[in-house]
Amino acid sequence: MEMFMILSNLIVPAVILGIVCCGAARKVQVYDAFIEGANDGFRIVVKIMPTMVALMIAVGILRASGFLDLAASLLGRFTDRIGFPGELVPLTIVKMFSSSAATGLLLDIFKEFGTDTYTGLVASVSMSCTETIFYTMSVYFMTAKVTKTRFTLPGALIATFAGLAASVVLAAGMAQASPAGMR
């Protein structure tokens, strides 16, 4: 185990050293190329900042307005029947907009239900099986100047629902395989 710790501490410096050596061998001005790339990255950050602020405000409004609680109570009646805990509806909605806000909700779920419960397991797996659809579409499409998204949103929503279904199936399988059973 100690060898893995040493190796993991050396990977990033080794990659950086490898890049510098490879660039020097090809007679590339490595530092100038780094500065140019950092400058481009900074311009992209400035360009996407309004989108980021709008998404953060939207998530804040959803949380503060009580919409997420209303959605959880209404949709939870249906989702409970198919094995998806209604308490996870707000997490699912927020995850489509912001992964960091969803992580905050995930921690709240862990505090309330525990990490080793069925609800906690479904929440963990669903966070891994789903994507921040609207963030990804707005940031990447804006950066790449894509204007015709065609089937992107429907495809992303289908993939999200498939990930949610997989989280229910996987959590149910884990609950059955657990020797003590899940609460």
84-140 pLDDT, tens digit each: 999 999 999 989 988 888 898 999 999 999 988 999 999 999 999 888 898 888 888
Residue-range definition of the domain harbouring residue 83 = 29-177
* pLDDT tens figures, 17-31: 999 999 999 999 999
Name which of 63, 57, 70 is nearest 108 in CA terms.
63
**Is position 53 within any domain?**
yes
Name which of 78, 88, 122 is nearest 108 in CA terms.
88
**Is position 19 within any domain?**
no
Domain count within the chain: 1
Q: How far apart, in whole angstroms, are the C-alpha atoms of residue 114 and residue 124?
A: 11
**Is position 18 within any domain?**
no
